[in-house]
Structure 1
């Protein structure tokens, strides 16, 4: 029997995904029909981007699951018409890209690269950085991405702690949770990496109070979600010297408006949401594997908890 798979995303995504998805589904041994249009009552699975035209799932009466193309699900998780399982994208290509981006910016701070690049004035500043083992890095958010980043940083020798809303156990990482755990995680963090999901409970995780809990001169790296940071509080902390520098890849409004003060601030690095992209080749393998599993009565991977929002 043929499995009907609807690709519901922007047209340019279809151009990127049609061949990799076809290849991955074929290699998974699935008899399928993959299209951008079906009669709703004929669809078995939806490969989905939350900015697609599909917003009402109620006509899809035979639907078995919605497979999100993005790691973030905040724009679909609250849709009351979606009653079948929703999976989020946990893609090894995306994970590797995130590891590389975070490692690069962590090492940039750790080694003082900005100072050397900006200090070509004839002055011999013979100050070596500490070893990684003496640099404390905290990762906020210990889901799939956060855990992978924390372990990669620890693999380089950094003194890594991690914090999450619920208890986690990750080999080689000091894992903290809860309100007091957050205070402890921040209290010694020289570099903070934010990889929490975007939920009402995580909004403004870094605010005036929590920024003040960091050691003076700490650096911030945010490739997670824009709303994790109170922008006004961060700007004030940068101006006061409490925070030495912030590298920000995600924002409440994207593209970041040209008039936003982050652009001109000398202690802020803006990158245009490039920390990691879902790669069509590897994401297609994840989607095909989940469909194969479901068709064979195996549990889906990466199912979203509707209550937690991720």
Structure 2
């Protein structure tokens, strides 16, 4: 994709004060891929039009991921990079991004972009057809998996999805695909009530959405296991987190959001502006 062409078109994409779409990218030690990912996403936004903002939330990476992403703000309008003060987990990163978002629709993605970008438009279309929450799924008949994950990853995810089925009502077959879309009100309502901060966050978010009476729909997608920079899945911590979420779902009143002070403390961040001018990396944009 021609960088100059992308830059010319993106200036029109981010012109609106209220974007039609907010894309939240969670990032953890993925400096090797974040530049490529941002280039793909901004190009896609330019092609689809309608106005979009990109919010990259770095969960206290130690490999310079935030600095690499921050340098791309010079090339992309509507891109904001924030960094957690301390590592809090992918769920906390998703919540930070959602709470900062301004778009009428909110799309939460992993930085590995395992889901085909063109299919994300189909996920977003479900919101236009009445869904409050739309989930990309690899487990529908129409889904297409071109490159499978490792056997260990597939087995681990299979166990976690089976456990997730005990928490999420029928109708959601894949909680770990890596792409969720929300109407703005639904996104804020769920994020303000979510407790999970680790890799099992999406399961609790979907369960909360169902308990709030929101309509959750699934969409088949094309999916390929990343050949570089795959988002990590921590099996035992995630299994423990799902167990804790299950106990909360039985005992916690999700009608009331978390206290604002607690939410702010748990999502403490700084804007990763291009402050570290001495930082150099082979991954930064050319």
Same fold (TM over 0.5): no
TM-score, normalised on structure 2? 0.29
Flag the structure with higher helix content: 2
Of structures 1 and 2, the one scoring higher in RCO (CA 8 A, sep 6+) is 2
Structure number, greater radius of gyration? 1
